[in-house]
Chains A and B, each alone.
Chain A
Amino acid sequence: MTRKKLVVIGAGMASGRALEHLFDADPDGWDVTLFNAEPRGNYNRIMLSPVLSGEKSYGEIVIHDDDWYADHRVTCRFGERVLAVDRAARTVTGETGTVAYDKLLIATGSNPFMIPLPGHDLDGVIAYRDLEDTNRMIDAAATPGARAVVIGGGLLGLEAAAGLRLRGMEVTVVHLMGHLMDRQLDEAAGYLLRKDLEGRGIDVRVSANSKEILGENGKVKALVLEDGTELPCDLLVMAVGIRPNTALAAEAGLAVGRGIHVDDQMITSDEHILSVGECIEHDGAVFGLVAPLYDQAKVAAATLTGTEAAFKPRELSTKLKVTGCDLFSSGDFAEGDGREDIVYRDPARGVYKRLVIEADRLIGAVMYGDTADSNWFFGLIQSGEDISAMRETLIFGPAYQGGPDADPLSAVAALPRDAEICGCNGICKGTITDAIAGGATDLGAVRAQTKASASCGTCTGLVEQLLQVTLGEDFEVPTAQPICGCCDLSHEDVRRLIKGRELKSQEAVWQELGWKTRNGCHVCRPAVNFYLLADWPLEYRDDPQSRFVNERKHANIQKDGTFSVVPRMWGGITSAAELRAIADAAEKYNVPTVKVTGGQRIDLLGVRGEDLPAIWDDLGKAGLVSGHAYSKGLRTVKTCVGTDHCRFGTQDSTGLGIKLEQILWGSWTPHKVKLAVSGCPRNCAEATCKDVGIVCVDSGYQVGVGGAAGMDVKETERLVDVATEAEAIEWTTAFIQLYRENARYLDRPYKWIAKVGLDWVKETLASADERARLVEAFELSQSIYRKDPWAEHAKQAERYQPLADLTLEAAE
């Protein structure tokens, strides 16, 4: 049998993979001649970034070495350009001669796009495309103090920037759009990425338009931006995109659009010529990521061997190969009618996750900082299955879905041995499980032995799942920072799950969220108690046994075991009758210290625990109620005298303070909350260092939030300016409720705002509907908690007494 003659133009990853499939299916059917303009064979181009950063060497990224080509009798014509294709004669002419073909495979790949800026042809202006470019970058970085500018904040540009930075260069990234990787990431993830890169010392300029490149003696010297900024550099890397390389095909008269036109079988307009890779155009689309190229390669090999196969584009996902920047993006995440977002943020950990849902299907996902579940989400996007049943907990990933079919481990377990896990290195499941069985019991060992997940890292989650399936409980997947040792969940996860899974009791939380202790500890139980009462005000009631002593006893414990008693003085206003009652109580209960507090009220210090109910009862008879000076709740609303007496006052600050205090008192919050209202910008009530501080002005009310004057001193930031008192009250109440619904237990408002961002708070509260909802939710909760706890506890005086006094019995 005579062998058929196959000529391949281009020895890249697509044609290389096609040859592998071809030799697998038909080992003896073909004589192959392989042209390549680069003076080498097939290597893993997507791993040039680790070569640039120094994490890998060229030798490690070679896919096909000389032996491989020899074994498969491939005639290699590397470093040789193809001059012409004669379709009528079915020959290919290279620089050293002509060769005939039965079938021709064109895989000429793509060319980097160079912006035709003035100076783009200067020495030192390069693309980032092949090993030559990479070596030039490595050489440039070898000069101490050398500076680089990278134009293009996409995948390739950022990998180049990170690699150059790792090699010690001063690097600036210039990106035309408003945020990095704008085609793969939304703004929020782009922002986190930028912060991460800036943290590595990379200067990032977004919304920056390049104007011209300056040179000196034919060598690049600086990049000038549209706004006149001059960025000096010794190396300028353009990474702004690729263009299919169609020149040869067009000259040969093949149908060419943006790329070489091919059908589902990878056949061009000439039935004897196939094409794969970045040079093709299929159904209007061109390709730049490796996964569809490998699919094309498989189809092309099948077509060559007469097997039926059709190329179908599939959903793609992206990961950035910059060590330490964990991001994932897949599908469509543009906002639009009928689309809903589920967003999860943990600013402290730099984690952002966003899912886009349309018609009960997951259509897009962007994740930053924690991409452990990305493969599962990617699977949901690809399968297009109905997710409505798990919508509430979807963002927590597969671990919270319950039910056997949603278990990603069973899906991984069900994969056949020859299922490909690592696309970069072509590693299938069997190879990985064999390595695990042979003693590779963690990710690092699997990587070292099999290369699986060692390149772009996209399949890391799958490899971890294989470790889990194979090793069972011996393998632990790394997780987020839990609340305490009692559980594996973060505060944010617990809050979300309490809402999403409608957990309405402590027992439900312990049970459903897998608490490892019987009923928590002093760290987690007060937090869970608060989350439950904040989310389910009617179904769940505050549990005193899950409160610290001060809140359980409604008084502040002092270092000698006595307590302090602070009755409420609304807005700091009191009366002769109230003062008389306080004076009487101080005498009656031998209170050693009476002090005026910073919150405009009076503190009785040194009250014995046993006397608390009685003193409360006495104070209550004069109309005094608890000042909650002990609680994670509303403390005081400090005021100045405003228009009532002050010649500068612009509004009735005292009146507004009293109204606010009467609305907010008794509410539980994640941490204490202090307010103040000043009647004019002289700010005598010191409103600008309170959790909420209102400053009255002629035109109305300036509402500021997030102030503090404790361990940290912080000035408030303006939430809103409003014209009327009613609006000031509405915004304040809505803000407090938003804080109650979202903050982590023991975060003061300023800490919470630092995590979610004031912009988010403003945006949320800007909606009148949302403010109305928040005010209503707050009122619902206050229908339970807006009452005086002292009056209730005064009725249970026996609980404050010792059980028994055995000293008396002993004396008898």
Chain B
Amino acid sequence: MSWTDICAIDDIPLRGARKLKTAQGCIAVFRTAENEVFATSNTCPHKGGPLSDGIVHGQSVTCPLHNWVFDLETGQAHGEAGSIATYPLRVEEGRVLIDTSGLTGRTAA
């Protein structure tokens, strides 16, 4: 594992999300009302909607384009056949770290 510091937890709004650029495409980093953080693919498998622009509720996000709802923990869509990739995150002393071992496409190549 290779943990990279990406931001302070307060850089992400409560019940909100920010976007992270990686070699594998954009990742959405979410923060729930309970201060849990999750990272998933930013792209809805339905029509490519930017999930970091969706409404965050409970441990779910609703895609802003057509209201698909995804579980942030598992990446599974509610009531639809579809899912999004999830990525390991860690919070240490108010900083958010992401495991970049699967993300740095170019070093792996």
Q: Using a CB–CB distance below 8 Å, which chain A residues touch chain B?
A: 517-522, 525-526, 544-549, 552-553, 557, 559, 561, 799, 802-807, 809-811
Contacts and interface: CB of A to CB of B under 8 A. Distances in A.
B41 interface: no
B29 A803 contact: yes
B35 interface: no
Interface string B1-43: 0001011000111111011111100100100011000000000
B72 interface: no
- Residue with the greatest number of chain A CB neighbours at <10 A, chosen from B13, B21, B29: B21
A687 to B, nearest CB: 33
B62 interface: yes
Contacts of A802: 18-21, 26
Given A545-B56, A810-B106, 13 more contacts: A521-B58, A522-B62, A522-B67, A526-B55, A545-B15, A549-B54, A552-B53, A557-B53, A802-B19, A802-B21, A803-B6, A806-B4, A807-B22
Q: Top 8 nearest A-B pairs by Cβ distance? A: A522-B62, A549-B53, A810-B104, A549-B64, A545-B15, A522-B55, A805-B21, A806-B22
Contacts of B53: 549, 552-553, 557
B103 A525 contact: no
B21 A804 contact: yes
Nearest to B107: A810
B62 A521 contact: yes
Contacts of A549: 50, 53-54, 64
A809 B24 CA distance: 13
A309 B18 CA distance: 78
Contacts of B55: 521-522, 525-526, 545-548
Contacts of B4: 806, 809
A313 to B, nearest CB: 56
A525 B60 CA distance: 13
Interface string B83-109: 000000000000000001001111100
Contacts of B26: 802
B57 A517 contact: yes
Nearest to B19: A802
16 contacts: A519-B58, A522-B54, A545-B14, A545-B15, A545-B56, A547-B55, A549-B53, A557-B50, A561-B50, A799-B18, A802-B18, A803-B7, A803-B11, A803-B29, A804-B7, A806-B104
Nearest to A548: B64
A60 B46 CA distance: 60
A810 B21 contact: no
A526 B15 CA distance: 13
Contact of A519 (B7, B57, B104): B57
A545 B29 CA distance: 15
B64 A804 contact: no
A557 B22 CA distance: 22
A811 to B, nearest CB: 7
A810 B33 CA distance: 32
Contacts of A806: 4, 6, 20-23, 100, 103-104
- Residue with the greatest number of chain B CB neighbours at <10 A, chosen from A519, A561, A803, A809: A803
A812 to B, nearest CB: 10
B69 interface: yes
A521 B57 CA distance: 5
Nearest to A547: B55
Contacts of A544: 13, 16
B107 A545 contact: no
A526 B106 CA distance: 42
A807 B57 contact: no
A552 B53 CA distance: 9
Given A557-B64, A806-B21, A522 B57 contact: yes
A238 B13 CA distance: 71
- Residue with the greatest number of chain A CB neighbours at <10 A, chosen from B33, B54, B57: B57
A548 B64 CA distance: 7
Nearest to A806: B22
B67 A803 contact: no
Contact of A520 (B14, B16, B21, B57): B57
B58 A517 contact: yes
Contacts of B34: 518
A807 B107 CA distance: 11
Nearest to B59: A518
A262 to B, nearest CB: 67
A806 B11 CA distance: 17
Nearest to B43: A561
Contact of B20 (A519, A526, A803): A803
A807 B23 contact: yes
A591 to B, nearest CB: 20
A552 B62 CA distance: 14
Nearest to B8: A803
B85 to A, nearest CB: 15
Contacts of B100: 806, 809-810
A657 B68 CA distance: 40
A741 to B, nearest CB: 25
A265 B23 CA distance: 95
B48 to A, nearest CB: 8
A524 to B, nearest CB: 9
Given A522-B69, A545-B13, A810-B23, A804 B6 contact: yes
Contacts of B15: 519, 545-546
Nearest to A526: B55
Nearest to A518: B58
Contacts of B14: 545
Contacts of A545: 13-16, 55-56
Nearest to B67: A522
A3 B56 CA distance: 83
B51 to A, nearest CB: 10
Contacts of B29: 803
A519 B7 CA distance: 25
A207 to B, nearest CB: 50
- Residue with the greatest number of chain A CB neighbours at <10 A, chosen from B18, B60, B105: B18
A276 B68 CA distance: 68
A806 to B, nearest CB: 4
Nearest to B62: A522
B14 to A, nearest CB: 7
Nearest to B6: A804
A533 to B, nearest CB: 16
Contacts of A561: 48, 50
A660 to B, nearest CB: 31
Contacts of B106: 810-811
A518 B32 CA distance: 10
A806 B54 CA distance: 22
- Residue with the greatest number of chain B CB neighbours at <10 A, chosen from A544, A547, A809: A809
A277 to B, nearest CB: 61
Nearest to B104: A810
A259 to B, nearest CB: 66
Contacts of B22: 806-807, 810
B62 to A, nearest CB: 4
A806 B42 CA distance: 14
A544 B34 CA distance: 17
A245 B23 CA distance: 95
B60 A521 contact: yes
Contacts of B48: 561
A65 to B, nearest CB: 57
A265 to B, nearest CB: 67
B52 to A, nearest CB: 9
A544 B107 CA distance: 39
Contacts of A518: 33-34, 57-58
Contacts of B69: 521-522
A811 B107 CA distance: 8
A477 B35 CA distance: 37
A522 B6 CA distance: 28
A532 to B, nearest CB: 15
Nearest to B106: A810
A617 to B, nearest CB: 21
